[in-house]
Amino acid sequence: MAKCEVCGKGVVFGHNVSHSNRKTNRTYKPNIRRVKVVEAGTHKTVYVCSRCLRSGKVERA
């Protein structure tokens, strides 16, 4: 569910790197918000990342 419905930003995988340089798997999750937006004249609830909200790509209801 961690996916922006506007830009498509989703989960990215990488490594935790310890001081001894051992690598373990980890995930980087986007900052997703559940907001009510106006889309084609109707109100609907969508999951949007904070960057899309801040840049004005969606209009809040």
- pLDDT tens for 15-59 read 999 999 999 999 999 999 999 999 888 999 999 999 999 999 998
- Does residue 17 lie within any of the structural domains? yes
- Does residue 45 lie within any of the structural domains? yes
- Does residue 4 lie within any of the structural domains? no
Q: What SS3 class is residue 53?
A: helix
- Does residue 51 lie within any of the structural domains? yes
- How far is the C-alpha of 49 from the C-alpha of 32, rounded, in Å? 4
- Work out the pLDDT band at 61, boundaries 50, 70, 90: confident
Q: What SS3 class is residue 54?
A: helix
- Does residue 2 lie within any of the structural domains? no
**For the whole model, what pTM was predicted?**
0.77
What's the structural domain count of the chain?
1
- Does residue 47 lie within any of the structural domains? yes
- How far is the C-alpha of 39 from the C-alpha of 55, rounded, in Å? 17
Q: What is the pLDDT of residue 52?
A: 94
Amino acid at 14: G
**Residue range of the domain that includes 36:** 12-55
Q: What is the pLDDT of residue 48?
A: 96
- How far is the C-alpha of 5 from the C-alpha of 34, rounded, in Å? 10
